[in-house]
Structure 1
Amino acid sequence: MSFEIQDLADILRVLILIELDKKAVSKSSLKRKIDNICSGRFNIEARDFDETLKNMVEEGLLSISGNYIKLTGRGTEISKEWRRFLLKNEPILEVIAGIADGVVTSLVIIASSIIAGLTAKMMLIASILSLIVVSITNFSSFLLGGITEDLADLTTLQNLIIYSLSDIPDKKEKEKAICLAKELLNLLRKKRSKMGFLSALTCGGATFLSTIIPIAAYLILPQPFDILFSFLIIGIMASLFLVHYRSRKMRIHWKITLLQTIAIIIGAVSASLLLGTNI
């Protein structure tokens, strides 16, 4: 399967991969769903639809049993990759940013409490205020930033696809391909809008949880267990998400992400404490 989108069949193939999941669906149901995406402007001809399905079966992406279609193992993997690329349905950045902000915030609050000798009540008030501000800021910034980024990405993608489709010699087929490409991008806009909200919510939630858990341990537990357990929780969260998770997603050795994480956290916490003590 080519990554390029050069004709109507390529767009149909991508659309089918995005719309199908692990469950088998009937041909008529899939055809109806694609026609609905076209918003009634035109219908995909049965000949083009069947030809695309046949090619996808030959490529090992689909299996057909009677009137039912199902993704193969290879098709499922390719479908996941297209979804990650086009829909951004895996909020990697949001999880990393949320955990990183939460870890730094909790470290700064706990370290500030120890240095300044704050009472439990003052510590609680400072924690609540910091937690609310950081979580809401992360949610709103990722929501607005995500909307802006998605619109810019999809506009660029639309221009590239339409430019690629402009070489189709048959005028009628070219018009249909361009119309289908635009409807595909409209579908992506709708799905990305939902994912953008969920991603922003994920970032805010990750920040909230990664901040509140170690701070709660610090406030509840007696000395010296409060410091030990709160730092242990922070270390576990940083190891799991900022080291292991990043290493797996970036496909690089965990020692590299470990050094990056330590350097960034030390730098951020040190800068925050220095600024705080000088104000």
Structure 2
Amino acid sequence: MSFEIQELPDVIKVFILLNLKRKTSTHKSLLKKRIDEICANDVCVEASDLDKALKEMVSEGLIIEDGDYIRPTPQGLKLGKEWRNLLLKREPILEVVAGLVDGSIAGLVVVLSVFMSGLFAKVVTFAALLTLVAVAITNFSSFLLGGITEDLADIRSLQILMRFSLSDIPDKNERNKSLMLVKRLFMLLHKEVRLSNLYAALICGITTFLAGGIPVVAYIVLPEPANLITALTIVGAMNAYLIRYRSKKSRINWKKILLETLLIIMAATVASLLLGNLG
């Protein structure tokens, strides 16, 4: 199928791809029922429209038809995942990266600050918890509010583009049904986006706290000099995972990301330590 949504079957295909689950057969009547629910029981999609879209998906290699049941092909699953990521923001890539970066920097700054100042364990515990909780809460709040705002704006833009493309359909009846289905679909997506952003913000906050807390706990619990070595090793392992994660998601060789990631983390850590010493 083309990425551009040009006809009613294209809209139906997107809906089907969003609803198909991995290696699970779905009855055609269930898909029709879900579409009717989205349309609020208005007849915006008829059975013949659904059958036409399904036949096109079979010919495109996106689904396999087995009587009244359909199931996705590997290509269909892949395309469905891409549509879910685009429309529902299901994969919190930014939040995971931010959590790992902020958490590891906060933890590293706490460990190095304590090591250089020679503070006692109780003071370390209080300062570390206060710092990490503040960073985690800030990340959660920022990504929740900012994520919802940004994603809804993106979805609104995508909806406008789809409506503009569908407005060229010559048949008035098909055009009206297409526009109605898109309108109802995006109303549902607005609710899904809020839930996805809540999940992503939680991931970011928890990742931030754990990425910073684990090396700090290791530094407090273990004896010297194993505590410092272990804490720095943990931070290094987290950054190695961060580089691998960024490389995988951006599809860029890890060697190109390595220097960029290390420079940013080192610069942020040094700046934080310098500002702390000035205070």
Shorter-normalised TM range:
over 0.9
Tell me the alpha carbon deviations over residues 67-102 of structure 1, each in whole angstroms, 9 at most, x when there is no partner: 111111111111111111111111111000000001
Offset of residue 156 of structure 1 = 0.8
The code of the aligned residue for 1:214 comes to P
Opposite residue 16 of structure 1, the aligned amino acid is I
Is 1:266 aligned with 2:235?
Answer: no
- Answer yes or no: is 1:158 the counterpart of 2:159: yes
Which secondary structure state, in structure 2, belongs to the residue aligned with residue 244 of structure 1? helix
What letter is aligned with 1:269? T
Contact residue 62 and residue 76 of structure 2 kept, 8 A: yes
CA RMSD of superposed structures (Å): 0.9
Residues in 1 aligned to 2:75 and 2:108: alpha-carbon distance in whole angstroms: 44
Contact 2:100–2:208, Cα closer than 8 Å, also in 1 = yes
Partners of 1:64 and 1:159 lie apart in 2 by: 33
2:103 matches 1:99? no
- Residue 216 of structure 1 is matched in structure 2 by 217
1:182 aligns with 2:189: no
User: Could you tell me the TM-score, scaled by structure 1's length?
Assistant: 0.97
Count matched residues: 278
Q: Could you tell me how far 1:41 is from its partner in structure 2?
A: 2.5
Is the CA contact 2:44–2:178 (under 8 Å) kept in the aligned structure 1? no
Task: Report the Cα distance in structure 1 between the residues aligned to 2:80 and 2:271, rounded to whole angstroms.
Answer: 44
- Give the Cα separation in 1 of the matches to 2:44 and 2:189: 19
Q: Give me the whole-angstrom Cα distance separating, in 1, the residues matched to 2:160 and 2:85.
A: 20
State how far apart, in whole Å, the 1-side matches of 2:159 and 2:60 are.
26
Q: Which residue of 1 aligns with 2:73?
A: 72
Aligned-partner Cα distance in 2 for 1:264–1:229: 22
Give a deviation string over 1:145-181, Cα, whole Å, max 9, x none: 0110112111111111111111111222111111111
* CA distance in 2 between partners of 1:143 and 1:181 (Å): 26
How far, CA to CA, are the matches of 2:151 and 2:78 in structure 1? 23
**Partner letter of residue 245 of structure 1?**
Y
Q: Confirm or deny that 1:124 pairs with 2:122.
A: no
- Contact 2:99 2:207 (8 Å CA) reproduced: yes
* Partner SS for 1:63: strand
Runs of at least 4 residues off by over 4 Å: none
1:97 and 1:175 map into 2 onto residues whose CA distance is 43
Residue 37 of structure 1: CA displacement? Answer: 1.0
In structure 2, what is the Cα distance between the partners aligned to 1:109 and 1:219? 11
* SS of aligned partner of 1:208: helix
Q: Once the 2 structures are TM-superposed, how far is the Cα of residue 42 of structure 1 from its aligned partner?
A: 2.3
- Runs of 5+ in structure 1 lacking a partner? none
**Aligned-partner SS, 2:169:** coil
In structure 2, distance between residues paired with 1:7 and 1:25: 24
- Deviation string for 1:167-202 (max 9, x for gaps)? 111222111111111111112112111111000000
State the SS of the aligned residue for 2:41.
coil
Q: Which amino acid aligns with 1:219?
A: I
**What is the DSSP-based 3-state SS (H/G/I as helix, E as strand, rest coil) of the residue aligned with 1:4?**
coil
| 42-51 or 11-20, larger mean C-alpha shift | 42-51
- Structure 2 equivalent of residue 6 of structure 1: 6
Name the structure 1 match of 2:171. 170
Distance, in Å, in 2 between the alignment partners of 1:39 and 1:127 is: 52
Tell me what 1:249 maps to: 249
Structure-2 separation of matches of 1:150 and 1:228: 41
TM-superposed deviation, 1:43: 4.0
Identity of matched residues, %:
50
